[in-house]
A and B are shown apart, each in its own frame.
Chain A
Amino acid sequence: MTATQNRGGQSDEQAGLPPSVIASVKDLRVHFKSKAGTVHAVDGVDFDIHDGETLGLVGETGCGKSVTARSFLQLVPSPPALPTQGSIIYRPRDGAPIDLTSIDRERLGEIRGNRIAMIFQDPGKALNPALSIRNQLVEVFLIHRTDEVLQRAGISLDESGAGSTMLRRAAGLRSRRIEKIALGMPGLREKRNAIIAASNELVEAALFDTQIPNPANVMDRYPHELSGGMKQRVMIAQALACNPDLLIADEPTTALDVTVQARIIELIKELQVRRKTSVLYISHDLSLVRRVCDRIAVMYAGRIAEIGPADQIFHDPQHPYTRGLLAAIPSSESKRGQLDAIEGSVPELINPAPGCRFASRCRHATDICRTQNPELHVLDGTREVACFIHHNGDAPNPPSFAEATDKRAAE
């Protein structure tokens, strides 16, 4: 299905979105132009995010997990990216499904930060260093929740037209000198004070919600004055300010110390449960994701290798790559010098060879793996695996991993 078919309307597929699914990625392909050729960074990714669940998207450097996440909000810079193929259908809680890959800037602006919010790995870079914490957040409220601010301030909506930009700046304590004089006049002054008070209340509540102690104090600080964990909390507060349906968290704790990481994860979990936000959690760390997520999708070289409930993926992985990934983590049992490393390295994504992307590093690979691309295939009802071990053509009962390995070893 092409992007043009989707544009601006409902296709059959969108209408057919199951009610429990809030977003559905279908055959997503993001390719990049480079001197050496086309880089197939994301190459046919399918998954659904259910309403209220936390889905983990896990994989190593360059597997395409971040590109996939950024495609939700058209944040992949183009060029060098070629036009996105496939679709990301998002269904707002109240409204018709939309294809995020093809909507125009204006409609995207309504969704970005409002319905779908994103937090990044490096909060230091994502926050504007020149704005106080208050202003980082006031911005969000004034853009997406203007009505609420005005309502709280007791200002009727129809009169906000003319002086609105002025009052908006006033709410962020960023009035120009001349505006300050104008706003100092009786009548306007009251409105200004009411708006400042209302926005302060909202910001304070948002910060309080992310367990920032003494929000009133933090509000007037600048990002560089806060610790990494605190900055990440501010980012989360900013992202959740508008009660989004979907939160995309791109390695939110990778830059933090482990003891702080634990707190941030708890916070995300707690907020997710309380607000029933769906979360797409991107990370390279499988054991960490398992603590946060209901389901996990494992990505390798631009494709999904395996997707299923977190505990199953962790305790009983069915794709050789997931197995390798878990075995490579040093544990108390692993003997020194004998870690189960996945030999070799990630294959070239420039004009990749046909077949399973993992075939070159897989110890179970056979001829079919090198020539055909394994599709995701449902295994015992709850999970999907893209590996020929589990579905050899039309075999009715796919053998379990152990059986398959034994069989192959015997052959």
Chain B
Amino acid sequence: MNQNGSTPSPSSEEPLLSVRDVKKHFPIRDGVMQRVTGQVRAVDGVSFDLMRGSTLGLVGESGCGKTTLGRLVAGLTDPTEGGVYFDGGRVDELQGDARRTYRRNCQMVFQDSFSSLNPRHLVKDLVGRPLKVYKEASGTELTERVVDLLESVGLGRQHLYRYPHQFSGGQRQRISIARALALDPAMVVLDEPTSALDVSVQAQILNLLHDLQTDRGLTFLFITHDLSVVRHMAENIVVMYLGRVAESGGAESLFQQPLHPYSHALLQASPDVVGDGAGFKGLEGTVPDPARPPSGCRFHTRCAHATPNCGWEVDDVVRQLEDVPKVFDELVGVERSSAFDAELRFDNPAAAQGLATALGGMTIPNAMSAAMEPVVVKDSSVRVRFHEVPDVELTTRGPGREVACVLENFDPEKNGNPSASSAAP
């Protein structure tokens, strides 16, 4: 994992696929003329390498951009900036044979096996389709190769002439896997392959995936929100939050000692992974709007360990106080000089004073107060300024570990999750 796109990370082995500072922004259109009024930053500068024969787990909650990233890697959508590199070439610029080689080598399994199998195609046509497209086989040979593929995923000849709806969820996912393997790809993007399945069936599919990986030397990009699954399957893990990488590293070391408060919170919230999860009360607030992501560390708005250097900004005034009654009722306008400096104009001096009071109140986290310069109230306007801080960069912490957090030594116990510390005797 390297921030600098031009020099690949020095390693004993060349990565099979590299993602370099990839961004994917979706325009928000509005009005009759469909003018672009903003950008949803689904993926906002992510880099990682996929080593041959290994599994990389991509973890995060809904809206963190992990699925978009999977689609970028599979070539289903092109990045707005940055690039996905396969075999030395940039995927979105590949032409002719190079593109075909990449296509064959990068397959995908989707979460919803109902939607990812054409309901009008027989299993034979579904699994045999890649072979037909690449004119690899036809006639009896095609049938035999499909049978081989079906057998490798635990199905058989008797399933050739059935439709997807005649199978259970687990069996349909097996069909999807067989299709993905038809062209003998080097890597497979697995987008929540077991999320729609029951645990007992999930275990079957996870075992199958592992067996296939060892037999065929496959490389997996395993996208999931389920930490127990990713810990089981992946050697390396990338934790994403709001379009960015929060933390990455080896699965075991990351699970043993998460270095980012968000990874820590995720782990705490998964009862299968750490103890019984008692004591963890969940995260405050909601994920901020990806069209207007927070400055600095994107997690600072919900972080229990936030410091004054985490990127507190004018928007945080609204984020923190919007739940307090009446504060913004008489707001008439905001004049911003930067994300960190703005003047909020109110209808009357009393309302302005009200905001100033609220900013000194209990709902404002200590870290935010510390980052804020003294509030200036002039007539009916309030000037709010914060210390400007740069974005948080991923920094290396130990072998293979990279963390995007201003805390040099994150210690969940010491810095104290407020709810956890109050529960402690």
A343 touches B232 (CB 8 A): no
Q: For the side of the interface on A, what is the size category?
A: 35 or more
Nearest CB in chain B to that of A59: its residue: B198
B203/A330 in contact, CB under 8 A: yes
A197 in contact (CB, < 8 A): no
Q: Tell me, rounded to whole Å, the shortest Cβ–Cβ distance linking A244 to chain B.
A: 24
Any A CB within 8 A of the CB of B233: yes
Inter-subunit contact B199/A329 (CB<8 Å): yes
Interface flag for B407 (CB, 8 Å) = no
Q: Are A341 and B200 in contact (CB under 8 A)?
A: yes
How far apart are B251's CB and chain A's nearest CB, in angstroms?
Answer: 10
Q: What's the minimum C-beta distance from A329 to chain B, rounded to whole angstroms? A: 5
Q: Report the stretch among B102-110, B318-326, B341-349, B351-359 that lies at the interface.
A: B318-326
Of A60, A217, A257, A343, which is within 8 A of B61 by CB? A257
Q: Does B239 contact A (CB under 8 A)?
A: no
- Taken residue by residue from 296 to 327, chain B's Cβ proximity to chain A (1 for < 8 Å, 0 otherwise) reads as 00000000000000000000000000111100
Do A341 and B207 have beta carbons less than 8 Å apart? yes
Would you call B276 and A291 a contact (CB within 8 A)?
A: yes
Give the chain A neighbours of B282 by CB distance below 8 A: 259-266
Closest residue of chain B to A345, judged by CB? B168
Asked whether, in the complex, the Cβ of A330 is within 8 Å of the Cβ of B266, the reply is no
Q: Mark A333-361, 1 if CB is under 8 A from B, else 0.
A: 01011111111011000000000000000
Interface size on B, residues (CB 8 A): 47
- Choose among B210, B229, B281, B282 the residue with the greatest number of A CB atoms under 10 Å from its CB: B282
- Interface flag for B280 (CB, 8 Å): yes
- For A324, list chain B residues within 8 Å (CB): 200
The complex places the Cα of A258 from the Cα of B280 at a distance, in Å, of: 11
User: Would B207 and A227 count as touching, CB distance under 8 A?
Assistant: no
CB distance from A258 to the nearest CB of B (A): 4
Please name all residues of chain A whose beta carbon is closer than 8 Å to the beta carbon of B204 when the two chains form the complex: 339, 341, 343
- Give Cα A329–Cα B281 distance, bound, in whole angstroms: 23
Expressed in whole angstroms, the Cα–Cα distance for A328 and B176 within the complex equals: 22
Bound form: Cα–Cα A325–B270 in Å = 17
Given contacts A213-B323, A229-B286, A259-B266, contact A332 B225 (CB under 8 A): no
At the interface, yes or no: A78 with Cβ under 8 Å from chain B? no
Contact of A340 among B203, B266, B287 (CB under 8 A): B203
**Is B142 among interface residues, defined by CB-CB distance under 8 A?**
no
| Contacts A258-B269, A287-B271, A331-B228; A336 near B280 (Cβ below 8 A) | no
Kindly state whether residue A230 has any CB partner on chain B within 8 Å.
Answer: yes
| Nearest CB of A to B80, in Å | 25
Once A325-B200, A336-B232 are accepted as A-B contacts, the answer to whether A258 and B281 lie under 8 Å apart by CB is no
A370 within 8 A of B: no
Known: A230-B286, A330-B232. A214 touches B323 (CB 8 A): yes
Residues of A within 8 A of B338 (CB): none
Distance in angstroms from B210 CB to nearest chain A CB is: 3
Residues facing B in A284-328 (CB within 8 A) are: 284, 286-288, 290-291, 324-325, 327-328
Would you list which residues of chain B between 259 and 298 have a CB under 8 Å from chain A? 265-266, 268-273, 276-278, 280-283, 286-287
CB distance from B54 to the nearest CB of A (A): 12
CB distance from A56 to the nearest CB of B (A): 13
Q: Would A342 and B210 be within 8 Å (CB), given that A216-B325, A287-B272 are in contact?
A: no
A60 touches B286 (CB 8 A): no
Contacts of A209-230 to chain B: CB distance below 8 A: 213-214, 216-217, 227, 229-230
The reply to whether A339 and B207 contact each other, CB–CB distance below 8 Å, is: yes
- Using known A-B contacts A61-B169, A214-B324, A325-B199, determine if residue A330 contacts B281 with beta carbons closer than 8 Å: no
Chain B residues whose CB sits within 8 angstroms of the CB of A343 once the complex forms: 204
Given contacts A227-B286, A260-B282, A345-B201, contact A332 B323 (CB under 8 A): no
Q: A216-B325, A257-B225, A259-B265 are in contact. Are A342 and B200 (CB under 8 A)?
A: yes
With beta carbons under 8 angstroms apart, the residue of B199, B231, B277, B278 that contacts A328 is: B199
Q: Which of B113-162 contact A (CB under 8 A)?
A: none
* Contact indicator B233/A336 (Cβ below 8 Å): yes
Residues of B within 8 A of A340 (CB): 203
Residue of A290, A291, A339 touching B232 (CB-CB under 8 A): A339
Q: Are B228 and A291 touching (Cβ within 8 A)?
A: no
Is B277 within 8 A of A214, CB to CB? no
Pair B61/A262 contact, Cβ less than 8 Å: no
Interface contact A341-B203, CB-CB below 8 Å: yes
Cβ of B303 to closest chain A Cβ, rounded Å:
12
Q: Assess the A330–B269 pair: CB atoms within 8 A.
A: no
CB interface residues, B 31-73, toward A, < 8 Å:
61-62
Candidates A265, A266, A291, A337; contact of B207 at CB < 8 Å: A337
Most buried by B among A60, A230, A330, A334: A330
Q: Which of B233-260 contact A (CB under 8 A)?
A: 233, 255
Residue of B214, B233, B280 touching A262 (CB-CB under 8 A): B280
Return A119 CB to nearest CB of chain B, in Å: 17
Q: Does B170 contact A (CB under 8 A)?
A: yes
Q: A262 and B281: CB pair below 8 A?
A: yes
B211 interface hit (Cβ, 8 Å)? yes
Q: A327: which B residues are within 8 A, CB to CB?
A: 203
A291 touches B62 (CB 8 A): no
A300 CB, nearest partner CB in chain B, Å: 10
Name the contact of A291 in the complex, choosing from B170, B255, B265, B277 (C-beta under 8 A). B277
| Cβ-based interface call for B9 (8 A) | no
Write out the residue numbers on chain B whose beta carbons fall within 8 Å of the beta carbon of A341.
200-201, 203-204, 207
Please state if A330 and B206 are interface contacts (CB–CB under 8 Å). yes
B369 at the interface (CB under 8 A from A): no
B322 touches A262 (CB 8 A): no
In the complex, chain B residues whose CB is within 8 Å of the CB of A337? 207, 210-211, 214
Least CB distance, B263 to chain A, in whole angstroms: 11
Smallest Cβ-Cβ distance to B168: which chain A residue = A345
Q: Are A291 and B271 in touch, CB under 8 angstroms? A: yes
Asked whether, in the complex, the Cβ of A342 is within 8 Å of the Cβ of B231, the reply is no
**For residue B266, which residues in chain A have a CB less than 8 angstroms away from its CB?**
258-259
B206→A339 contact, CB < 8 A:
yes
Residues B353-402 near A (CB distance < 8 A) = none
Q: A396 to B227, alpha carbons, bound, how many Å?
A: 45
1/0 per residue, CB under 8 A from A, across B180-198: the answer is 0000000000000000001
Cα distance A259–B277 when bound, in Å?
11
Task: Tell me whether B281 and A266 are in contact (CB under 8 A).
Answer: yes
Neighbouring A residues of B322 by C-beta, 8 Å: 214, 217
Instruction: Tell me the bound Cα distance from A61 to B168 in angstroms.
Output: 11
Question: Which residues of chain A are near B255, meaning CB under 8 Å?
Answer: 332
Question: 6 closest A-B pairs (Cβ-Cβ)?
Answer: A263-B282, A262-B282, A213-B323, A330-B232, A337-B210, A341-B203
* Contacts A/B (CB < 8 Å), 29 sampled: A213-B323, A213-B324, A214-B324, A217-B323, A227-B287, A257-B225, A258-B225, A258-B266, A260-B283, A262-B281, A262-B283, A264-B282, A286-B199, A287-B271, A291-B276, A324-B200, A328-B199, A329-B199, A330-B206, A330-B231, A330-B272, A332-B231, A332-B273, A336-B210, A336-B233, A337-B214, A341-B203, A342-B200, A345-B201
Can you name 15 extra interface pairs (CB under 8 A) apart from A217-B325, A266-B282, A330-B203? A60-B198, A60-B199, A61-B198, A217-B323, A229-B286, A260-B286, A284-B198, A287-B276, A290-B271, A291-B277, A329-B203, A330-B228, A330-B232, A331-B232, A336-B232
